[in-house]
Each structure stands twice: as C-alpha cells, then as structure tokens.
Chains A and B, each alone.
Chain A
Amino acid sequence: MNIFAFQFMQYALLGTAITGLTAPALGIYLVQRRLSLIGDGIGHVALTGVGIGVLMHRSPVLLATIVAALGAIAVEIIRERSRTSGDIALAILFYGGISGGVFLVALSRTGGNLSSYLFGSPLTISNADMVTIVVLGIAILAVTLGLRPWLFAVCQDEEYAKVAGLPVRTLNVVMAVTTAVTVTTAMRSIGLLLVSALMVVPVATAQLVTRGFGTTMALAMGLGLASGVTGIVISGPSDTAPGATVVLFAIGLFLVVALGSAALRSWRRRSLPAAPAASDPPDVLLGVEP
C-alpha cells in the first residue's frame, strides 16, 4: 500500500510544501537586505514561545508566533536604532530566546519533545496544526506577493523609500511580523533551526540563473516547493529525518545549479573565443558620442 494514502503523510507533504513555497517568498526580502541569518535568530526567539505554550498547556504554535513576532519587532527596532552595537544586542536576544525555550520546556517536566520543534516533525502534524499552517501560509503569500513592489523598494534602498514617502516603518514592521509567522508556520514541518535554510537557499539557487527580482522570487518559490515535496517523498519511505532531508535536497539543488551554470559559462566562453568577456563594453565603444 502506498504510504501517501495515510492522512499523516498527506499532512506532512502539504505542511512541508506550504513551507517550501512561503519561506523563500519571504526570505528573498531578507537576502535582498543582506539579513540572511535573521530568520534563524527569529527561530531561536520562537522557542521561548514554545516553552511558554508547553508550560501553560496552550498551543505552542500560537505562543511561538506571538513571541517570535515580538522578537522580530525587537530586531527591527535594534536594526533601525543602532549601527555598531546592534550585532551584540541581536546575539543576546537570540541566545536568550533559545535558552528561555529550553529552560521553560524542562521546567514543565512533561518531557516535551524539544527536537520536534527544533528540527520539525511533519509526520505528527495534527488537524489543528494543519488548519493553522494553511491559514498562515495564505497570509504570508498575500503579504509577500501582494506588497511586493513596496517591500522591494524598502529592501532595495530604505533611504530612497523614505524620501519617496512610503510608510517605511509600517512596511518594516509588517515584514518583521511576517518573518515571525513564516518561522512558526515552518516549525512543525522543518523546524525552527532549519527554516532559515529554506528562506535563503532556494533564493541563492535561483539568483544564479535569473536576472530580475520577480523572476528570482518565482523560481525560488518553485525550488522551495520542489525541495519540500521531494524531501518528504524521499524521507517518508526511507524513514530519514524529514526536515534535514528537505534542507539537504535544497542545498543539493544549489550545488547542481552552481556547478551547472559555471560549466555552461566556461563552455560558452570556449565555444566563442572571439567574443569579449561577459562584462559590458563602455559606452564609448557602443558608438555613443561623448
């Protein structure tokens, strides 16, 4: 019998697919801002929310979302205010977050399974989890796709966006909260410590072959989705760690595309010996009269 006939496998597949689609859609803005590792830090902070949830016998996903959102807003304030000491403030926030989570879960004496939050446990996604993941996934896509021109402008050049009269602070807070929601949506499927990989790696892979922001975003979402689905299809029958399989597959894709595009470039260079290098000739050579 096909293992994917079981509901838990279907939930695992759907939950991971949604993460694969949404994580790069948000992650591309973080990469554009050169804040690739912020997602990881927010994941650390979310663990405190999980700890509070376990301790109070409330939904860990809901509390993780709230705490991660507060953490993301704190990160945004630190980023906006400080230039030099921000680095240390972030480190304190992130390690405080993960220690708080570990401390609280241990305090609950429930033997709560910490690693299922850190590294994901897609096979144990419940009905309630599934509903939450679908609803939050739709919300993430609505923000990241619907507000794309504005988020792009703010991430590309924040000062310019201010002078252009865009509501920069509001957009930054929306992005911070969406980052938190993306992290907690991914928590059940690939885990708090691995979600950042799906925010960054598919974007890194896509931009090896794309030329624009829109195409990079579309391709990254496609690659993320493919990684999520393939990872579960591989890990389900072979019983490997699902979250890690998804991330390793995404990194494998990156290596294949990186080597492939490098090989293609060198083959093109060799097959066209007379052509100039990939860089553009200066305008003077294009016949533009000075």
Chain B
Amino acid sequence: MSAVLEVRRGVVAYGERPVLRGVDLTVHTGEVVAILGANGSGKSTLVRAALGLVPLASGSVSLFGTPIKRFKNWSRLGYVPQRLGAGGGVPATVGEVVASGRLGRRGWRPSSTADREAIRAAIEAVGLGDRAKDPVGTLSGGQQQRTLIARALAGQPELLVLDEPTAGVDAASTEAFAAALGDFVHGGGSVALVAHELGPLAPLISRAVVVHDGVIAHDGPIPEPAGHHADPDHDHVHPHAPHLPPSLWERP
C-alpha cells in the first residue's frame, strides 16, 4: 500500500504558540482516515499543513510520494474547506462554483464536453441537480457544504481532503454527503477527513487518528465513545469552556 498523504514529525507554530508538536499522519491508497479531536486540538491545522496552506516549522509533507515542494499534480487531490470562501461579494451559481473545481484538471484548454459532464455528475452526486442554476448564497449551510464537495469531486481526484465537512450541517445534508463520500470511496478513492463527530460517516471510516493538544493521541480503530458521549441521544454540543459545569443533580 503506497501513501497518498504523509506528514512526518510535523511542527506548526502560530507566532510563539506551538499548535502541532511533531505529528505523523499517513493516508494509504484506498483508506478513509478520520482526524478527530476537540476544538483547538490542532486537527484542522494538521490537514492545512498537509496541503501546504500552513507552513511547517519543521518536519515534512509528501503527497503521492512526492515532497510537497516538488508536487505539481494537484488535480489528483480534492480539497473541501470548512465553508465557502470569503469571496462572494458577487452572486455565483452552484454550477459556477463547482466548475472552478474542474480547472486544475482542465488546464488552460477551453472547456470540453468531458469537463461539462464531470461538473454535472459532481453536482448530481451530492444531490443538488435541481439547484445548479441557483446562487450559492440562497442555499442552506448544508447545501453550501455539498456544493463545496461537488467542487472537489468535479476534478475527479484520487484523494479527498475534507475539513469538518459536517459541522453545523442538517441531517438530510449529512446523509447526502455520506452517500456521495461512499460512492467516492467505493470507486477507489482515498479520504482524509477532519471531524468533530462522525455520525453517519462512521461506517465509511477505516482508521481514526485523534489529535490532542498538538500531538497524535490515538491511531487505530474509531475510539469508543466514553461517558455521556456514549448515550445514543447525546447531543454533541460542546460549550466553549474547559469543562462542563456540574449540573444541578451532580455533585461538583
């Protein structure tokens, strides 16, 4: 099994503050690796460093066996950011946004039938076929997220890198997203996926990596939820505080 994405002893610091302190991450061909961790654990920074969006203070990144500095074949990779970019002073349709995901593969050639077909298929795959001509600004958060996944799929990548694709997304969109990701994986694709919780994505995951405080705390099967997290009705919402405050019925 060859590695499609490999981070070795990656160190990232924002100013003086270290965010990643020597992490290793490998995604092999055909694997679906979930990168889990609490807010601020460094999990998003890890994938952003793996894509070259955040510079490494030390360590190395290779994509498809090539050191990232010399990596040119970006169309083999599809990136799904957390949300639609800051751009958007001007309305843009779902079709237009998804089409920009095809440019890496299209190169500087004029758009071909195959390009248009790939864009149409990507929009269909995420269940937005009837919304292709609608402005992305009028879609729900979940539908916008699906648009971004379609944009990544339009380039027909071998590796998908997703940064919290299901954060704040409604249940219907999460299902549509899980279905699209399942098709991609069954087609032989590899996935690196940052998530806060897995939900319906869990059956797709082949390995989970837990980032805690800038280091890898776990690398293996999906860790069993513990404590109140194991409750099937547990609503996975974390208050932005280090610890849950004791409830009225608990001793502090």
Contacts and interface: CB of A to CB of B under 8 A. Distances in A.
Contact of B91 (A36, A162, A164, A212): A212
Interface residues of A, number: 38
B142 to A, nearest CB: 7
Given A153-B100, A164-B79, A212 B89 contact: no
A1 to B, nearest CB: 44
A159 B72 contact: no
B85 A216 contact: no
Contacts of A157: 81, 84-87, 100
B140 A34 contact: no
- Please classify the interface of chain A as helix (H, G, I), strand (E, B), loop, or mixed, using the class held by over half of its residues: helix
A83 B96 CA distance: 29
Interface residues of B, number: 47
B93 interface: yes
Given A152-B92, A212-B135, A216-B90, A166 B79 contact: no
Interface stretch (B24-32, B35-43, B166-174, B208-216): B166-174
B173 A283 contact: yes
Interface string A141-182: 000000001101101111111111110000000000000000
A280 interface: yes
22 contacts: A33-B87, A33-B89, A36-B89, A149-B100, A149-B103, A152-B92, A152-B96, A156-B88, A156-B97, A158-B85, A159-B81, A162-B52, A163-B53, A163-B161, A164-B155, A165-B104, A207-B90, A211-B134, A212-B91, A213-B90, A279-B138, A283-B142
Given A156-B88, A156-B97, A284-B171, 14 more contacts: A150-B103, A157-B81, A157-B85, A157-B86, A157-B87, A163-B53, A164-B100, A165-B72, A165-B73, A211-B91, A211-B133, A282-B140, A283-B143, A283-B170
Shortest 8 CB-CB distances between A and B: which pairs?
A: A165-B74, A157-B85, A283-B172, A153-B100, A156-B87, A212-B93, A163-B79, A290-B171
